[in-house]
Amino acid sequence: MAKLSVNLNKIALLRNSRHTGVPDVAHFARLAHEAGAHGLTVHPRPDERHIRRTDVFMLDRLMRPWRPEFEFNIEGYPDPRFMDLIAEVRPEQCTLVPDAPGAFTSDEGWKLGPDQMGLARTAIQQLKAQGSRAILFVDPNPDIVSRVIDAGAEGIELYTGGYAQAVREGRQAELLAACGETCAKARAAGLAVNVGHDLNLDNLPPLVAAMPGLAEASIGHELTADALVLGWAEAIRRYAAALAG
Ligand SMILES: CC(=O)[C@@H](O)[C@H](O)COP(=O)(O)O
Ligand SMILES: NCC(=O)COP(=O)(O)O
């Protein structure tokens, strides 16, 4: 059964639009835990447009009684600022993304060519030494699996933004197959397989069906939008159920 990690970025984004602390990220973290999420994901970007460094330390303290079963997944680019934060917090999982500092969002995975492999390998070595599961954010392409192994990662997160766009356009068959093939190859190699980006209650079920052995989906943007209608707890229950298959 695939697990749901709720991404709190958009709660923090709304919070940052005023100086009142509303909505309270800690409150929505507690509600997510109570509603049956399996973990929380945050992406403390360099510009702190949403999740701030202080949020990460607050969530580390808040989640401690619930961990390690309820996992903390921290995403980010492995620059010194980020790696120092991870060394302090030591989350159960760290998902490395190749985002430039001012990236609009995470919209592509690591290619792990000569220009990226050294950085990835070094960061992964540090993560593993610290006890954080090292995950690489990659595009749905079976050819990337051998390079992920070469980098020493323990798993992948498939970038599903392209798949979500294909679903909107009714042309998802090719990307769904690519996700399934990449998942099967990664699982055969002993890698954990996660998914994330623009997943929602419509595009999730066929993806789950196409990816036997899927471990986790980290979902924030569309879940938060759905919560404006359904409520936060009900939205989380529905996404967790969709992942349970
Ligand atoms: C890696 C990924 O797809 C998301 O986890 C990412 O956190 C989205 O970032 P924004 O919420 O800043 O768009
Ligand atoms: N890794 C994906 C994630 O954490 C949330 O992505 P999104 O659902 O906000 O697009």
CATH of the domain at 142: 3.20.20.70
Known binding residue 18? Answer is yes
For ligand 1, atom 3, which residue shows the shortest CA distance?
Answer: 197
Q: Is 43 a catalytic residue?
A: yes
Nearest-angstrom CA–CA distance, 204 and 207:
5
Nearest-angstrom CA–CA distance, 135 and 110:
11
Max Cα-Cα span within the chain: 49
Mean of pLDDT values over 221-233: 98
Mean of pLDDT values over 61-88: 98
Q: Is 75 a catalytic residue?
A: yes
- By residue range, what is the domain housing residue 62? 3-244
* In contact, 53 and 44? CB cutoff 8 Å: yes
Q: Is 197 a catalytic residue?
A: yes
For ligand 1, atom 13, which residue shows the shortest CA distance?
Answer: 105
Atom of ligand 1 nearest to the CA of 161: 3
Ligand 2 centre to CA of 218 (Å) is: 5
Nearest-angstrom CA–CA distance, 126 and 18:
37
pLDDT of 44 higher than 90 = yes
69 CA to centre of own chain: 17
What percent of the chain has a predicted confidence (pLDDT) above 90? 99
pTM score above 0.90: yes
Report the sign of the C-alpha dihedral through residues 7, 9, 12, 13, in that order. negative
For ligand 1, atom 1, which residue shows the shortest CA distance?
Answer: 106
Nearest to 6 by CA among 245, 162, 241, 240: 240
Known binding residue 27? Answer is no
Count of the separate structural domains present in the chain: 1
pLDDT of 26 higher than 90 = yes
pLDDT of 119 higher than 90 = yes
